[in-house]
Structure 1
Amino acid sequence: MKISKQTAPHYIWGSRCDGWHLVQQENLSIIHEHMPPGTQEVRHYHSRARQFFFVLTGVATMEVQGELITLYPHEGIEIPPRVSHQMINRSSEAVEFLVISQPTTRGDRVEFPGFNPKKF
């Protein structure tokens, strides 16, 4: 079945970020996400899920266990299970990216709400 941002189930996360579930299965999740400038997710890890983040447009910063990694369009990063990470948009432009998770991350997220990436 054909799917797009226009037909995929939409949700809002954080205060201003968007996600569209392109594939939503127990063994595989593919989400198209949009982050406005100056937004970030809560630092976290997944107990079981392995993830791959792939930037479509914009410039993103991924914090991985204290290391900041800049991702440009058409670049990605794999995050193994139990590795803390946080997607950040420090740029003045929106970032769009894909998040591919296997298995799904539903019920598999442990957050670190007090973490501040600005100290890096």
Structure 2
Amino acid sequence: MISKDNAEHYIWGERCDGWYLVKRQDMLVIHEKMPPHTEEKRHYHAVSRQFFFVVKGVLTMELEGEKQEIAALQGIEIPPEAKHQARNDSDDAVEFIVISHPTTRGDRTDLPDLA
């Protein structure tokens, strides 16, 4: 049985949290938490397909230059090679699950932020 309470934890960015729920080469499932007004680096994955599912709050996803707001109990699929950036533009924390197939480890190219 795996939960946020017993999963391997890590910190990314300056203040964001991640918990590995499944950590295999063929699939990666992570529970992530972004405090208010945080963001990840804009990037893409050459092979990995991702699905972001919001558990709490509102996640702003920039996908190929289009900004979308994903509310709790909504999700968005990110195909391979799609340039994207997850952000929390709100005043509250956002929590979400990211499913990646296969793993994103070694399959990420960072990009400059959009102006």
Class of the TM-score when normalised by the shorter of the 2 chains: over 0.9
CA distance in 2, matches of 1:75, 1:45: 21
Deviation at 1:6, TM superposition (A): 1.0
1:67 equivalent in alignment to 2:75: no
1:25 equivalent in alignment to 2:14: no
CA distance in 2, matches of 1:59, 1:8: 24
Q: Which contiguous aligned blocks of 4+ residues in structure 1 show a shift greater than 6 angstroms?
A: none
- 2:56 matched to which residue of 1? 57
- 2:113 matched to which residue of 1? 115
Deviations 1:70-104 (A, max 9, x none): 00000000000000000000000000000000000
1:94 equivalent in alignment to 2:84: no
Which blocks of at least 5 consecutive residues in structure 2 are unaligned?
A: none
CA distance in 1, matches of 2:51, 2:58: 16
CA distance in 2, matches of 1:48, 1:85: 14
The structure in which a higher percent of residues are strand is 2
Q: Quote the sequence identity (%).
A: 57
CA distance in 2, matches of 1:107, 1:7: 25
CA distance in 2, matches of 1:51, 1:33: 14
What TM-score do you get using the length of structure 2 for normalisation? Answer: 0.98
What TM-score do you get using the length of structure 1 for normalisation? Answer: 0.94
Code of the aligned partner of 1:115: D
Deviation at 1:111, TM superposition (A): 0.3
Deviations 1:26-59 (A, max 9, x none): 0000000000000000000000000000000001
